[in-house]
Amino acid sequence: MTRDPRYDVLFEPVQIGPVTARNRFYQVPHCNGMGHAMPNSVAGMRAMKAEGGWAVVATEECDIHASSDVLPYREARLWDQGDQDRLALMTERVHEHGALAAVELVHSGHNVSNLYSRLR
């Protein structure tokens, strides 16, 4: 079965700033419950999406500071070098399949629990 030519544009590369995505398929950020606690599983899941043809694969919400702790929920976070290493693992696995990696930076403001960090 051939593809309807109306959809050809979806499969064309697109320039995003200084990089080029191989097509128009952008996996939007979504939380999966693994967050920072299961970096190998997160990297494997995101790599599978890249292998499947997604041009850009994004993280879930990624907390930018300990004052944005949302326990009991697990999200990606970017608080220290360990977090950078965990996100780098996901990025490397996504890049292995020719996709770009994206991150959604967030501070949850009034929704934070600060159960982990105890910061207010």
| Model confidence pLDDT, tens digit, residues 25-84 | 999 999 988 999 999 999 999 999 999 999 999 999 999 988 888 888 889 999 999 999
Domain residue ranges of the chain, discontinuous segments joined by +:
15-110
Residue 8 phi, psi dihedral angles, 5° rounding: -55, -35
Q: Averaged over 4-16, what is the pLDDT?
A: 97
Which pair of tokens denotes residue 71? 């326990």
pLDDT of the residue at 109: 82
How far from 106 is each of 2, 27, 34, 55, 102, CA to CA, in Å?
41, 17, 17, 23, 13
pLDDT of the residue at 120: 55
pLDDT of the residue at 118: 65
Per-residue pLDDT of 12-41, as tens digits, reads 999 999 999 999 999 999 998 899 999 999
Distance from the first to the final alpha carbon of the chain: 58
Which has more pLDDT, 115 or 41?
41
